[in-house]
Structure 1
Amino acid sequence: MKQPISSETQQQAVMIAKSTQKEGQTKEQTKLIASGIEKGIAEYKKQQKAKARQSDKARKQQVKQKQRAQHDEPELELEFNESSQMTPLAWGLICLLGLSWLCFAWYIWG
């Protein structure tokens, strides 16, 4: 679907075409130049809209990544805290295991 060119764009194209008009140029030629300029302006606006959409998508992705990173950080802190709380228990289990092996060796050789 082709979108109609706005009247503002048409007026800009006519002004540009008239400002670059050469001697002996007919009105018909000026109209053709103006329509070419209209198409150029419309194409430029279309490209700018596409760039704006892409930059908006990129910005939204960055925001989502930042939110995910902020959401993930508390979980990492929680895991770190849990592992640091487990350290005394782990040391206690290691000591008990070592003690049981010593008792077992003393029982076998003693």
Structure 2
Amino acid sequence: MAKNNQKTISPETQDEAMTFAKKTNKPGQSKEQTRLIALGIQKGIAEYKKNAKSKQREADKASKKNKSKQSLTTEELQPEVVVKYRYTRLPWVLLLLSWAAVAVYFITTH
């Protein structure tokens, strides 16, 4: 029960194959031989297109993988920075105490 994976060959491919077969036609070659050569060329073109599509799919997968890796690395390099400012009263208290000390010094010395 083998599946038939043969797809229909486009008319453009058939025309291309026939032109190549006619270009390589030898003197005394029958039409049947030319047709068989054209069929071989059609199979070659179909195989080439299949391989080209496969390579293109692999390249697309690789580029998508690289893009996803690249986006992950940029996210990792730029983590969310949450800055919390905590205001304390200590600097203000120390400033006021120092001014008070200076004021007391001037009052007591003069």
Alignment correspondent of 2:53? 49
Q: State the alpha-carbon separation in 1 of the partners of residues 32 and 62 from structure 2.
A: 45
Q: State the alpha-carbon separation in 1 of the partners of residues 61 and 81 from structure 2.
A: 32
Once the two structures are TM-superposed, the CA of residue 58 in structure 1 deviates from its matched residue by 0.5
Q: Which ranges of 4 or more aligned residues in structure 1 deviate by more than 2 Å?
A: none
Q: Which amino acid is the alignment partner of residue 51 of structure 1? A: K
Equivalenced residue count is: 81
**Structure number, greater radius of gyration:** 2
The one-character-per-residue Cα deviations of 1:64-102 (angstroms, maximum 9, x if unpaired) are: 011101111122x749x89xxxxxxxxxxxxxxxxxxxx
TM normalised by structure 2 equals 0.68
TM normalised by structure 1 equals 0.68
Q: 2:65 aligns with which of 57, 61, 70?
A: 61
Q: 1:35 aligns with which of 22, 25, 39?
A: 39
Alignment correspondent of 2:9? 5
Classify the secondary structure of the residue corresponding to 2:47.
helix
After superposition, residues 82-101 of structure 1 pair within 5 angstroms as: none
Once the two structures are TM-superposed, the CA of residue 32 in structure 1 deviates from its matched residue by 0.2
Alignment correspondent of 2:75? 71
The one-character-per-residue Cα deviations of 1:21-58 (angstroms, maximum 9, x if unpaired) are: 00000000000000000000000000000000000000
Q: State the alpha-carbon separation in 2 of the partners of residues 62 and 8 from structure 1.
A: 36
